[in-house]
Structures are given as structure tokens and as C-alpha cells.
Amino acid sequence: MHAFALLTTAITNGSVTFNDVANGSTWSDWFANQLSSFTPLNVALGLLAALICGTVISLVYKKTYRGVLYSPSFTLTLILLCLVTTPVVMAIGSNVALSMGMVGALSIVRFRTAVKDPLDTTYMFWSITMGILLGANAYVIAAVALLGIGLIMLAISYMRLKNPNGYLLVLHYDEYAQPEIENELKRCVRFYRMRSKTVTRAGAEMTVEIRLDHRANIVSQMLDINGVHDATLVATQTEAGA
């Protein structure tokens, strides 16, 4: 763009004639100036590296995800963030004026989609950081960061898997069955806390936050209690004691 601006100024001032432009000498200089900063091969290699890094980040995210509803579109977003950031950083390079203009352009962007899990924001920053490193040709730093952060996230996810999962247990029962329900909860789960209770003439409804592993069949055990009409188990992301 800088060379194109100089070309336009030269034509306006009369230092370059139409014949010079028609002969292609000025255009060849402009293309030579463009290819002096980066070549199509560099861009292709950068995009390929960004695709690999974004794919690895999305796989780590899928492996470590422990939420309620997994979103495949978010993993695609992680890949695209890395792909988009890489050529942007390549284009900016060391041009201060262009970098300031890019910051101004990005400042008007508004993201309307709310991020439900703060950890998702971390993955987004990770993907953008990899794109910045690849765009700046810091391939060694990008490889070390990708491997190191990926291993750390997998290790943290492995440690979290050792903890019991959080669920909401919704029960409809007759009021006289509550003592037996509480005894069964004390026997079967490591942690439980009553979140809500509603009593009507038709019976009672209680929502309990519990922590248990996948092997526990708490629903069937609740239905075996006399006076319990139905039991529903819902996955949740709340932490024990929160």
C-alpha cells in the first residue's frame, strides 16, 4: 500500500507519465517491493503452521472440556483465530503506522456472544498468541509454547478428572420419605447440599447438589426408596462448596 500511495502521488505530481505506467516499469517496482517483505511461500507456510497449531489447540480443548454442552463451532473458532491472526501480523511487520491503524480498526469490534466459561477465553488468547508468534516468524517459540501449554492443560485436566463430578439431583417424593433420602445421600455421595425445596399438596420437590463418580447409580437407588416418585440427574459445572 505504501508503494501504491507513492505511485498515485507521482502520477498526480506529473513525475510519472501514463506511458511509464503502461510499460509496466512502475508496477514491476511495486510488485518487487511487495515481494521483498514476504513471499507467497512464506504466507503459505505461515498459514499451514497456523492450521496445525489451531488444530492442536482445538484437540486439547476437546480433550480437556468438562462442561455441560460441548460446542464444535468453538473449536472451529480457535482454528480460525490462529489462521486470521497470522497474516495480520505478517502484514503489519515493523510498520508502526500500519500497526496503529490496525489497533484502531480492532478497537471498534464488538463481540456479542457471551463466553460462558472463563477457561474458553484462555483458549482464545492462546490461539491468538500462536497466530502472533507465527506471523512474527518465531516458529521455535511457537512450537515450545504450543507443546508446553498443551501438556500443562492436559495435566490439569487429568488432575480434575480425579475429583468427583458435579450434578443436580431433582426428586419428587412424599414428605415422609425425606429422612430416608438424606440417609441414602450420606451413604452414596461424598458431598451433597440442598439447593431448593418445594412442598405442595401433591408432594414435595427437592433439588440437591451432589458430587459423585460415573459409577454411582444414584437415580436407581433413589427410586428404590418408598415414597420417591421420580428422580432426575442433571450435569452441572458448579464446584463443591461453591
* Distance between CA atoms of residues 119 and 67, nearest Å: 10
Task: Give the lowest-confidence range in 106-110, 154-158, 159-163, 169-173.
Answer: 106-110
Task: Give the lowest-confidence range in 70-74, 204-208, 214-218.
Answer: 214-218
* Distance between CA atoms of residues 176 and 4, nearest Å: 84
Q: Any idea which residue has 488444530 for its cell?
A: 55
Where do the structural domains in the chain lie, given as residue ranges?
A: 38-158, 165-235
pLDDT of residue 20: 47
Q: Residue 237, SS3?
A: coil
Q: Which has more confidence, 101 or 40? A: 40
Give Cβ neighbours of residue 67 (< 8 Å, ≥ 6 apart): 116, 117, 237
pLDDT of residue 237: 56
State the burial class of residue 51 (Cβ atoms within 10 Å of its Cβ: 0-12, 13-18, 19+).
Answer: middle
pLDDT by residue (tens digit) across 113-126?
666 677 888 898 89
Q: Any idea which residue has 414435595 for its cell?
A: 204
Q: Kindly state the helix (H) or strand (E) to which residue 214 belongs, with its residue range.
A: none
Task: Give the lowest-confidence range in 19-23, 29-33, 35-39, 150-154.
Answer: 19-23
Average pLDDT over residues 203-217: 78
- Cell numbers describing residue 123: 483458549
Query: So what's the architecture of 165-235 in CATH?
Result: 2-Layer Sandwich (3.30)
pLDDT of residue 107: 53
Q: Residue 111, SS3?
A: coil
What DSSP designation does 242 have? -
pTM, two decimals, is 0.61
Average pLDDT over residues 212-220: 70
Q: Any idea which residue has 468453538 for its cell?
A: 74
pLDDT of residue 177: 87
Residue % of the chain over a pLDDT of 90: 14
Amino acid at 231: A
176: Cα within 13 Å, side-chain hemisphere:
2
pLDDT of residue 101: 64
Residues 232 and 195: beta-carbon distance below 8 Å: no
Q: How far is CA 201 from the centre of its chain?
A: 47
Q: Which residues pair with 49 in a beta bridge?
A: none
pLDDT by residue (tens digit) across 65-108?
876 677 888 889 899 989 988 888 887 765 656 665 665 566 55
Q: Any idea which residue has 451413604 for its cell?
A: 187
What DSSP designation does 115 have? -
pLDDT by residue (tens digit) across 170-199?
899 988 888 888 888 888 777 788 888 888
pLDDT of residue 143: 92
State the burial class of residue 181 (Cβ atoms within 10 Å of its Cβ: 0-12, 13-18, 19+).
Answer: buried
Mean pLDDT, all residues of the chain: 75
Q: Residue 85, SS3?
A: helix
Residue 208 has pLDDT above 70, yes or no: yes
Alpha helices in the chain (DSSP H): 2-13, 18-23, 25-37, 40-64, 72-92, 96-107, 118-135, 139-161, 178-188, 218-223
